[in-house]
Amino acid sequence: MSSDAAMSIRLPPECETALLERFLKAESMALWTVRSARLQDVPPNVYAFLRQHEEDEQQHLAQFETMIGRQPRERERLPTVPRQWPALAVQLYGYESLGLEFATLLVMLRPDLASIREDELVHVDFFEREILRILRGEAAAAEQATVSARAWWRKLPRTLDRYLEGAALDPYRPVLAERILAILEQRFRTTGLFT
């Protein structure tokens, strides 16, 4: 589904700094998650994609660092990601879908950053195809993916609140959170993660 059509909320220019700040955090988290995922036992085509994916996220992060003028806090350890591929695929798909919605918001205020959104679309499409492959494959793996999707979903409202922190975003947080939840729910239903 097109997130352009669904994301009709217009944010005022005062929200730009807050959004850029959120992106600095989110892109560094994306980068570390991809690095962590590359250390897991994933199918060969996924491993190949993750190399490109890591490069993209590294470049996105560098762009936000330049715009904001500082670096995110360094992590001491890579974040823990699920070891089993179906669960890991759901996590990557979920966070990339979330990233795409944020990129859609950002591009309204910063049309010059459209290439970041295009990369996020590529990431979401890739993991979506992997999710479809898992759901149509072995029953145990498909079951693991749907169980993981429900678990990821339960944590999503809190994740969203964190992603939407910042005084400038206060008046928009409830409506944005509701809208993003609705878009992601629709996405999970369409792929078959939610039945």
Q: Where do contacts with Fe ion occur on this chain (CB under 5 A)?
A: 27, 57, 60, 96, 99, 120, 123
CB of 72 to Fe ion, least distance (A): 13
Cβ–Cβ < 8 Å for 93, 131 = yes
Shortest Cβ 128–Fe ion spacing (Å): 13
Helix and strand element counts for the chain (H, E): 7, 0
> Which residue, 94 or 99, is less far from Fe ion as judged by CB?
99
Residue placing its CB nearer to Fe ion in the complex, 82 or 99: 99
Dihedral class, residue 84 (left if φ above 0, else alpha if ψ from -120 to 50, else beta): beta
Q: Cα separation of 149 and 82, whole Å?
A: 12
Instruction: CB nearer to Fe ion: give 62 or 140.
Output: 62
Nearer to Fe ion, 117 or 144 (CB): 117
Q: Terminus-to-terminus CA distance in the chain, angstroms?
A: 17
Tell the smallest beta-carbon distance from residue 138 to Fe ion (Å).
27
* Closest of 155, 156, 159, 145 to residue 194, by C-alpha: 145
Smallest gap from residue 111 Cβ to Fe ion (A): 17
